Amino acid sequence: DAGVIQSPRHEVTEMGQEVTLRCKPISGHDYLFWYRQTMMRGLELLIYFNNNVPIDDSGMPEDRFSAKMPNASFSTLKIQPSEPRDSAVYFCASTGLRGSPLHFGNGTRLTVT
């Protein structure tokens, strides 16, 4: 099993540009989560999907953030327009059976200048 795959690993962009982060969950996992990690706020849940349907997006900071899961093997997190305060590491994670630990991707480090 290749694990959760995220791309890109690093992203540097200018303020105002659109940013798209990508995630491929582990095959068979029906829950997918997007987390953001910053020094100030630690690890925050942004949104999670169950069977490709967004269930809770209360952690999405603003309308500039959107997430989609068009199929069971792919999800995107988009920021448009990006701002310097969006700079963070964004993690995707997936899990299957209830009570099983979340498996994390290696994260995308986003820098907005």
Partner 1 sequence: AQTVTQSQPEMSVQEAETVTLSCTYDTSESNYYLFWYKQPPSRQMILVIRQEAYKQQNATENRFSVNFQKAAKSFSLKISDSQLGDTAMYFCAFLNNAGNMLTFGGGTRLMVKP
| Shortest distance in whole angstroms from residue 99 CB to partner 1 | 5
Shortest approach of partner 1 to residue 103 CB, angstroms?
A: 8
Nearest one of 21, 17, 20 to 108, comparing CA atoms: 21
Region 42-81 residues binding partner 1, contact defined as CB under 8 A:
42-43, 45, 48, 50, 55-56
- Residue with Cβ nearer partner 1 (70 or 99): 99
Closer residue to partner 1 in complex, CB, 47/79: 47
Asked if 38 is part of the footprint of partner 1 (rule: CB under 8 A), the reply reads: no
Beta bridge partners of 108: 90
CA–CA separation, 84 and 101 (whole Å): 32
Placement of tokens 């959760």 in the chain: 4
Measured from the CB atom, the residue of 42 and 70 that comes closer to partner 1 is: 42
- Give the binding range for partner 1 (CB under 8 A) out of 12-20, 41-49, 62-70, 74-82: 41-49
Stretch that binds partner 1, among 13-21, 64-72, 74-82, 85-93 (CB under 8 A): 85-93
